[in-house]
């Protein structure tokens, strides 16, 4: 039983991990950029920013195991600070793009995660690296259109994805945090249990909220423009890569791995279960929620 620090405790995976580690860690410290009242109250809360090394030094002090998000600009010094403060085990939230996308593609999402994985290794940590493929939480981007118009507009409704529940990623993270001896030095490619078309995902959300939702096909260019507007806008380049990836996955089936099953001993949750768990976000009466991070320029599945 270890003293554990969860960074990104306001994020979808970090928050789920915080709840899973409550009562299990000998001491649980949660890091957020600003103080928030909606985190587990029986844990210590600290504020800090990956880019502010002094704040991270305070956050790492006395912690044995750390769950780390990959920062927007990975910096080797962050890991050096962790090592100096006595952190022995790192569980890194990386991305499947590290193994799915060729280095020649110069994909910024893959490069960012590769860079962070390298820093973790070079700092000498026997880390556990989690590489989720597509997070089911990406579908929350549809919430506004579903609430307002009972519709989802996408360029390729037949595009296949294999989304994983954020709490399933947190489940693997919790195992790794609490048992570094068994999981240190290993990496896991995490997927959902079966590929599903976007159309089928929209139907599952409709089923969860008891309402029929139209899955409307729009031109690729209109989709890119839509994704590069609004509060959680991404750059045109990233939007174009995502749309190209959607087209590609109308022809290629995404991977299904057994990594979750191997660690947890049961299959990951089906998308239909994720939809039920998040039905409140899609109901017409739902209060619109701001994205967890204001700017998520590289959110979304790995693209190539």
Ligand X SMILES: NC(=O)c1ccc[n+]([C@@H]2O[C@H](COP(=O)([O-])OP(=O)(O)OC[C@H]3O[C@@H](n4cnc5c(N)ncnc54)[C@H](OP(=O)(O)O)[C@@H]3O)[C@@H](O)[C@H]2O)c1
Binding site for ligand X (CB under 6 A): 7-8, 10-14, 32-33, 49-51, 69-71, 93, 95-96, 132, 134-135, 137-138, 166, 292-293, 296, 299-301
Question: Measured from the CB of residue 140, what is the shortest distance to ligand X in angstroms?
Answer: 9
Nearer to ligand X, 211 or 259 (CB): 259
Q: In 43-59, which positions are buried (b, 16+ CB within 10 angstroms) versus exposed (e)?
A: bebbebbbeebebbebb
Q: Minimum CB separation from ligand X for residue 78, in Å?
A: 10
* Minimum CB distance to ligand X smaller for 41 or for 290: 290
**Structure token digits, residue 230:** 């609004």
CB of 181 to ligand X, least distance (A): 26
What is the nearest approach in angstroms of ligand X to the Cβ of residue 135? 4
Choose between 139 and 209: whose C-beta lies nearer to ligand X: 139
Q: Which CB, 5 or 96, lies closer to ligand X?
A: 96
**What is the closest distance, in whole angstroms, from the C-beta atom of residue 74 to ligand X in the complex?**
10
Residue 1 or 118 with smaller CB distance to ligand X: 118
């Amino acid at each position: 039983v270890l003293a554990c620090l969860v960074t990104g405790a306001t994020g979808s995976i970090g928050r789920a991990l915080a709840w899973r580690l409550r009562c299990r860690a000998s001491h649980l410290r949660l890091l957020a950029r600003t103080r928030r009242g909606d985190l587990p109250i029986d844990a210590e809360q600290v504020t800090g920013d990956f880019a502010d090394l002094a704040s991270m030094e305070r956050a790492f002090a006395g912690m044995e195991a750390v769950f780390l998000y990959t920062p927007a600009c990975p910096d080797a010094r962050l890991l050096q600070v962790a090592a100096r403060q006595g952190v022995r085990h790192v569980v890194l939230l990386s991305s499947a793009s590290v193994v799915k996308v060729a280095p020649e593609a110069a994909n910024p999402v893959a490069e960012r995660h590769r860079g962070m994985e390298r820093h973790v290794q070079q700092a000498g940590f026997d880390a556990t690296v989690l590489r989720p493929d597509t997070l089911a939480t990406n579908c929350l981007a549809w919430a506004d259109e579903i609430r307002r118009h009972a519709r989802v507009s996408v360029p390729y409704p037949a595009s296949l994805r294999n989304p994983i529940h954020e709490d399933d990623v947190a489940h693997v993270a919790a195992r790794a945090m609490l048992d570094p001896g068994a999981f240190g030095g290993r990496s896991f490619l995490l997927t959902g249990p079966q590929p599903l078309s976007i159309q089928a995902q929209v139907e599952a959300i409709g089923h969860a909220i008891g309402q029929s939702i139209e899955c409307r096909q729009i031109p690729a260019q209109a989709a890119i423009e839509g994704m590069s507007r609004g509060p959680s806008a991404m750059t045109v380049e990233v939007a174009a890569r995502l749309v190209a990836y959607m087209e590609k996955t109308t022809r290629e089936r995404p991977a299904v791995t057994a990594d979750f099953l191997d660690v947890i001993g049961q299959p990951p949750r089906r998308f239909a279960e994720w939809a039920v768990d998040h039905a409140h976000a899609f109901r017409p009466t739902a209060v619109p929620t701001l994205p967890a991070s204001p700017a998520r320029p590289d959110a979304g599945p790995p693209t190539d």
